[in-house]
Amino acid sequence: MRKAFIAGTTIFFMMFVLCLVLASCKTAKTTMSVENEVKKDTGVILPIEGMPILAWTGVEEHTVERYLELKECGFNLNFSFCDNIEEVAKSMDAAKAADIKMIIRCPEFYSEPEKIVSRFSSHSALAGYYIRDEPSGDDFPFLGNLVQRVQAVDNKHFCYANLYPLGVPYSSIKTITYLKYVQSFLREVPVEILSFDYYPIIVNKSGVRSLRTRWYENLEIISDEARKAGKPFWAFALSTAFLSQPIPTLSDLRLQVYSNLAYGAQGIQYFTYWTPKPHGKWNFHDGPIDGNTKQKTQAWYNVQQMNREIKSLSGVFFGAQVMQVRHIVTNASGKNGSIPKGTARFDFSNRPAEASIIKTFTVPKNTNAVVSFLKNGNRCYMMVINRNLSGGENLTFTITGGDGLQLIKKDGAAVSASSEDSSRTVTPGDALIYGWDLNKE
């Protein structure tokens, strides 16, 4: 949850459909230029490279150099809290020079949305308009009206909002259940993308990491409701430490991002890029860009590596549809343990019919893992995520398959699985990915 640091919520995307140009995983590398198309009949097109990757609380020094630094970190979208219209204008010009797209926000937007929209709608760096973060159900009528006012002036760009996570009290969401909260939002606010935040990794006073218990249940709800509504969803990874949320390691980022992608996320967002100033109980620290020194931290380099992996694997995940997501938990004797609330246990014999090319799947003892089957065009994929946290155990899986099964490497290259060792070790948070053509099954 985004903590009172920012008002309100909800990614509002005006009639947004992701139109994809997919490269085959048979090629050595899967970097590509992809157009996100927001409703074909309006001509709304957001050209970006592969998966949308958003810096939330992004660049605060609006120079070309800072936006080039953001691009170097692997971002293609930026959202900054600007104080006034002129700061928005300055940020847009700098972003344009660095080929970064912008979601814009300034206080004047809420009193004079038509004025702000008219001024910036023709700017080539514009991606969309920030509407609200973490709204309650009581806010939905206002948000719907605000979006309609924006669309009356500019129907070529989207409106952005983001929902609360599962577990917040009724006083925040103002609906009977979290499921009703999500469903009411989708019904009352005409979005074409669903976004939510959940920061699952916490650390105790002894430095021991653990996963918050309802994260995967939240992903189950969002993924399911987005699918039923025929809309993609975006999800977050935490890149700035605060309260009980630890300084993120690369393993932390991988667990968050790959789990989001396993559930079908079509955009990855980071909270935050620029470290916010601490205030009240919100002791933000060690984000990618330090708020005091304005210099890169280790988190910047971890996020950069994560973004390289996302971009290289865009051909797998961008445009993919989830066929099945299941969880594996076994103890030291190999017996089943408790899986996360709201999820289903993996059963190899009940894998999707499209995955019959996978012949054997041997699971080690003491396993915590996520198994996802995805379909993207005429390609299918199986991914296995080591759900252990930083400092946890590596997991070694043995997977064999028929002709045409390929191992997908981190750079997007696909190699014949038969030419590789069938036993593969996965470090905490990381993912093992296999792919195959449907017509070769």
Q: Specify if 21 maps to a domain.
A: no
* Percent of the chain's residues with pLDDT above 70: 89
Domain end marker among 317, 351, 373: 317
* CATH number reported for the structural domain that contains residue 77 in this entry: 3.20.20.80
Residues 189 and 90 in one domain: yes
Residue 10 maps to a domain: no
12, part of any domain = no
Note whether 193 and 67 are same-domain residues.
yes
Would 20 be classed as within a structural domain? Answer: no
The confidence band for 45, taking pLDDT boundaries of 50, 70 and 90, is low
Q: Which helix (H) or strand (E) holds 251?
A: helix 250-262
Antiparallel, parallel or unpaired: β 368-376 and 321-329:
antiparallel
pTM: 0.90
108 and 254 belong to one structural domain: yes
Cβ neighbours of 40 (radius 10 Å): 11
The reply to whether 206 and 149 lie within a common domain is yes
Q: Is residue 27 part of a domain?
A: no
Structure tokens at 165: 């996570």
Q: Is 51 left (phi over 0), alpha (psi -120 to 50) or beta?
A: beta
Q: Are 257 and 306 in contact (CB under 8 A)?
A: yes
Both 388 and 403 in one domain: the answer is yes
pLDDT in tens, 197-224: 999 999 999 999 999 999 999 999 999 9
Residue range of the domain that includes 278: 34-317
Query: Does 235 map to a domain?
Result: yes
Residues 175, 143 within the same domain: yes
Residues 344-379: tens digit of each pLDDT: 999 999 999 999 999 999 999 999 999 999 999 999
First to last CA, the chain: 42
Tell me: do 306 and 379 sit in the same domain: no
* Residue 192 sits in the same domain as residue 205: yes
User: Taking all residues of the chain, what is their mean pLDDT, rounded to a whole number?
Assistant: 90
Can you tell me the distance from the alpha carbon of 397 to that of 407, in angstroms, rounded to the nearest whole number?
A: 13
Provide the pLDDT for residue 47: 60
Q: Which residue type is seen at 28?
A: A
Question: Out of 1-15, 164-178, 207-221, 226-240, which region has the weakest mean confidence (pLDDT)?
Answer: 1-15
Report yes or no: 311 and 50 within 8 Å, Cβ to Cβ.
yes
The verdict on 341 and 286 lying in the same domain is: no
Final residue belonging to a domain, choices 253, 287, 317? 317
DSSP string over 296-332: B-HHHHHHHHHHHHHHHTHHHHTT-EEEEEEEEEB-T
Residue 286, in any domain of the structure = yes
In the listed set 300, 317, 334, which residue is the last one of a domain according to the structure? 317
Q: Are residues 155 and 265 in the same domain?
A: yes
Both 173 and 276 in a single domain? yes
| Rounded Cα gap, residues 271 and 251, in angstroms | 16
321-329 and 53-56 beta bridge pairing:
unpaired
What's the total number of domains in the chain? 2
Q: Are residues 303 and 354 located together in one domain of the fold?
A: no
In a domain, 283, yes or no: yes
